[in-house]
Structure 1
Amino acid sequence: MGILDSIQSLAGQAGALAQGDQAKIAGGFIEALSAHPSGITGVLESLKSNGLGEHVNTWLSGQAQTATPEQVQQGLGPTGLIEQTAQKAGVSPSVVTSALALILPMVVQHFAANGQSTEPGSFSGMAQQVLGKLL
């Protein structure tokens, strides 16, 4: 199962958000990540330095352990990605952190397989694919 299928599956499982909002958040996050100057590598470093090192290691090993919205805020808060994603998706930052608690492990697994980040250019095309599959 690819990342798009996984995100689509989770979109159906999380009842707190409308499926359209989840699609917007997933796409908005990937777009924000593609524009982030340090890319996935910087995000991984931020997560690790802000207390989520164990989560990152679990995700990189292929396990899809979810995080709590509070942990997402703690790990990504300094990066500005939560606010950028909220702006792109047209939702509040709290809605973004709730959705990213489910989506973030898959994004890390997909774009940082074996601890190696993929090319940042692949994110923008991925955002369009995510939105196309989920809407």
Structure 2
Amino acid sequence: MHRALPDISAAVFQKKLFVVLRLDSSMSYTYTFTRLNIQHKEHIMGILDSIAGRLGGKSTDFAHGIAGLLGGGAGLSGLVTKLTASGLGDIVNSWVGTGANSPITPEQITKGLGPDVIKNIASRAGVSHNDAASMLANHLPDIVDKLTPGGKLPQNDIAGSVMKLLGLK
């Protein structure tokens, strides 16, 4: 079953970011971010816009899989460490850095994350293993790039905030 990504809207009021997720006509959740600076708020919204706008009908479950990668265990730094340890350091460092993002292939994603991770995301999103690996290869570089403002891993838990927004934490 494919669910559409919730309708996401946001507003900044008195230096607080209010994000409203409308799951359907009867349910909505509001999340408030007060400790993030404006730059980080923009990155969170950019990530959500990226996931919502580019994944189409498979977006919710696939977005949850990406958020799980970014927020599970050691979070974003753990993901970067795992991919670097798999021999993908130059590629991943380009995503974190301020220059252009190097591309990654579905095969490299599978090697770096492990086939079980890809299988889990594929199962959740209702797509094949190859489609999940391709979707990750297409979207993970931009998402990591948006989560690393100024070419540095963030000090605060932006990935955890994204997971909360998606209802995964």
Q: What is the correspondence of 1:1-135 to structure 2 with a 5 Å cutoff? A: 2-8=46-52, 10-11=54-55, 19-34=56-71, 36-62=72-98, 63-77=100-114, 80-113=116-149, 114-117=151-154, 118-119=156-157, 120-127=159-166
Do the aligned partners of 2:69 and 2:79 also contact (CA within 8 Å) in 1? no
CA deviation map 1:26-66 (0-9, x unaligned) = 332213432x2111111101111111111111111242332
Q: TM-score, normalised by structure 2?
A: 0.58
Quick check: which one's strand share is greater?
Answer: 2
Q: Which residue type is aligned with residue 82 of structure 1?
A: I
Q: Which residue type is aligned with residue 97 of structure 2?
A: S
Distance 1:103 1:127, change over 3 A: farther
CA displacement at 1:9 relative to structure 2: 5.3
**Which structure would you say has the larger RCO, counting Cα contacts within 8 Å and 6 or more residues apart?**
1
Do the aligned partners of 1:59 and 1:109 also contact (CA within 8 Å) in 2? yes
CA distance in 1, matches of 2:117, 2:162: 14
Quick check: which one's helix share is greater?
Answer: 1
C-alpha RMSD over aligned residues: 2.5
Do the aligned partners of 1:28 and 1:127 also contact (CA within 8 Å) in 2? no
Counterpart for residue 132 of structure 1: none
Do the aligned partners of 1:28 and 1:85 also contact (CA within 8 Å) in 2? yes
How many residue pairs were aligned? 119
Q: Tell me, which stretches of 5 or more residues in structure 2 are unaligned?
A: 1-41
Do the aligned partners of 2:69 and 2:75 also contact (CA within 8 Å) in 1? no
Do the aligned partners of 1:72 and 1:101 also contact (CA within 8 Å) in 2? yes
Q: Which has the larger radius of gyration?
A: 2
CA distance in 1, matches of 2:101, 2:131: 20
Do the aligned partners of 1:22 and 1:99 also contact (CA within 8 Å) in 2? no
Q: Judge which range, 101-110 or 117-126, deviates more.
A: 117-126
CA distance in 2, matches of 1:95, 1:22: 13
Do the aligned partners of 1:51 and 1:74 also contact (CA within 8 Å) in 2? no
Identity %: 34
Q: Which residue type is aligned with residue 164 of structure 2?
A: G
Q: Equivalent residue of 1:121, what SS?
A: helix
CA distance in 2, matches of 1:4, 1:109: 13
Q: TM-score, normalised by structure 1?
A: 0.70
Q: Equivalent residue of 2:127, what SS?
A: coil
Counterpart for residue 33 of structure 2: none
